[in-house]
A and B are shown apart, each in its own frame.
Chain A
Amino acid sequence: DAGVIQSPRHEVTEMGQEVTLRCKPISGHNSLFWYRQTMMRGLELLIYFNNNVPIDDSGMPEDRFSAKMPNASFSTLKIQPSEPRDSAVYFCASSLNRGDGYTFGSGTRLTVV
């Protein structure tokens, strides 16, 4: 079991550029969350997928943020255009079923300069 895999581990980009973060959930897991973590605000929930369908995206901060899950083994979080205030660590987490607890990836540290 390789766990939840996120890529890249670190991303540095210039303001205005498009950024795509990737997540591979644990095989067989059907629930997935994306989070953003900063020192000031802690862990903020961005979006929830169940069986590849976005169920709740009320946490997505702006239209610049979008997330997709084209299949059960891959999800992306895209920011376009990126801004310095988007700098944070982005995590995804997956679960087999609702009651099974969530496993987190190692995160992507995004720096927008």
Chain B
Amino acid sequence: KQEVTQIPAALSVPEGENLVLNCSFTDSAIYNLQWFRQDPGKGLTSLLLIQSSQREQTSGRLNASLDKSSGRSTLYIAASQPGDSATYLCAFLNQAGTALIFGKGTTLSVSS
């Protein structure tokens, strides 16, 4: 069964800290991996998309890496801000493109 595990489940940090969210997946034959953000009661917003041939992607203060061989991805958030408080979800698209499998997410709280 294809699974995604995200650690930690919850994280609280003071404003300004750099932090890393972890994602591991069981299927190394992925097509791509996508990181999303979800605010309470809202939909999912795509943050970064990493193709299977890529190692990392960057957008502003966010950097996501992908290591297919070990089945891991990390999301690095630099200089965290209270506005970064949300649940962060990673999901991989299987090789056939027929399933986008999600982890349970990491809920981040950044205090000012």
A-side residues, CB < 8 A to B, are 31, 33, 35, 42-43, 45, 48, 50, 55-56, 91, 93, 98-107
Contacts and interface: CB of A to CB of B under 8 A. Distances in A.
A91 B91 CA distance: 15
16 contacts: A31-B97, A42-B105, A43-B102, A45-B102, A48-B99, A50-B98, A91-B43, A91-B44, A98-B93, A99-B32, A101-B32, A101-B34, A101-B49, A103-B46, A104-B44, A106-B42
Contacts of A99: 31-32, 51
A93 B100 contact: yes
Which of B36, B43, B49: most chain A Cβ within 10 A?
A: B43
A100 B46 CA distance: 11
Contacts of A101: 32, 34, 46, 49
Interface residues of B, number: 23
Interface of B: 31-32, 34, 36, 42-46, 49, 51, 89, 91, 93, 97-105
Contacts, number: 51
A53 B44 CA distance: 24
Contact of B98 (A42, A43, A48): A48
A29 B100 CA distance: 16
Contacts of B51: 99
Contacts of B36: 104
Given A43-B91, A104-B36, 10 more contacts: A33-B100, A42-B103, A45-B102, A48-B99, A55-B98, A93-B100, A98-B97, A102-B34, A104-B43, A106-B43
Contact of B31 (A43, A45, A98): A98
Contacts of B34: 101-102
